[in-house]
Chains A and B, each alone.
Chain A
Amino acid sequence: MNKSELIKTLAEKNDIHVDEAALVVNTFFDSIKDSLIKEERVEIRGFGSFKLKDYGGYTGRNPKTGEVVQVSPKKLPFFRPGKELKEYVNK
């Protein structure tokens, strides 16, 4: 499923207009994005939590060419599935 299918399904299940469903879905993901960009933690009960992790830079090598490359430090979100989601996919 992709985002537009998510919006369509939400609209059908709740008997609302797709525009309203799109507002819900877009605001949901935008809120999570904004918080992570501000380096805040995100916790969605029943689904999971996100936390930004800092990765230090390092000197790496391009495995194909053997060329030395500098990998700069980066921030990446780490997702931990919640208990309910873990149990749900295994049911």
Chain B
Amino acid sequence: MGKTLTKADIVDSIYEKSDRNRAEVKAQVESLLEIMKQSVKKDHALLVSGFGKFEAYDKRARKGRNPQTNQAITLPPRKVVVFRLSRKFRAELNPQ
């Protein structure tokens, strides 16, 4: 896989269509990411139609061990974020 799309590339694409300067567009993108993070945390879900859904779900505490020392430890409960693909986007990725 060759190229990687980064935040700077996204800022550029928005900048081309916007009346703002690059620094302002960058601030808007950072603000958007902040809102997205808050939404995933607070609502446990962020639904973007035509794209997919980011979901946070709870994982229970489980027993693990330190692979280096072999010591048994209890891993605390935590939240994990997963992405579920929208049907529309899935179809776009797999045209038939």
Measured CB to CB, the residues of A under 8 A from B are 1-3, 6, 9-10, 13-14, 16, 20-21, 23-25, 27-29, 31-33, 35-37, 39-48, 50-52, 72, 74-79, 81, 84-86, 88-91
Establish whether residues B82 and A13, one from each chain, have CB atoms under 8 Å apart when the complex forms: no
Establish whether residues A27 and B4, one from each chain, have CB atoms under 8 Å apart when the complex forms: no
Establish whether residues B14 and A48, one from each chain, have CB atoms under 8 Å apart when the complex forms: no
Q: What are the 3 A-B residue pairs with the smallest beta carbon separation, nearest first?
A: A79-B83, A1-B39, A35-B5
Establish whether residues A27 and B17, one from each chain, have CB atoms under 8 Å apart when the complex forms: yes
Given contact pairs A25-B32, A37-B92, enumerate 12 new A-B contacts (beta carbons under 8 Å).
A1-B45, A1-B46, A14-B31, A20-B18, A24-B32, A27-B14, A32-B10, A40-B1, A40-B5, A51-B1, A77-B85, A89-B41
Which residues of the partner chain A approach B54 to less than 8 Å between Cβ atoms?
A: 79
Establish whether residues A76 and B37, one from each chain, have CB atoms under 8 Å apart when the complex forms: no
Establish whether residues B79 and A90, one from each chain, have CB atoms under 8 Å apart when the complex forms: yes
- Decide: A1 near B43, CB < 8 A? Known: A10-B31, A24-B32, A51-B1: yes
Which residues of the partner chain A approach B27 to less than 8 Å between Cβ atoms?
A: 14
Bound state CA distance, A51 and B3, in angstroms? 11
Which residues of the partner chain A approach B89 to less than 8 Å between Cβ atoms?
A: 33, 77
Q: Which of A16, A23, A46 contacts B33 (CB 8 A)?
A: A46
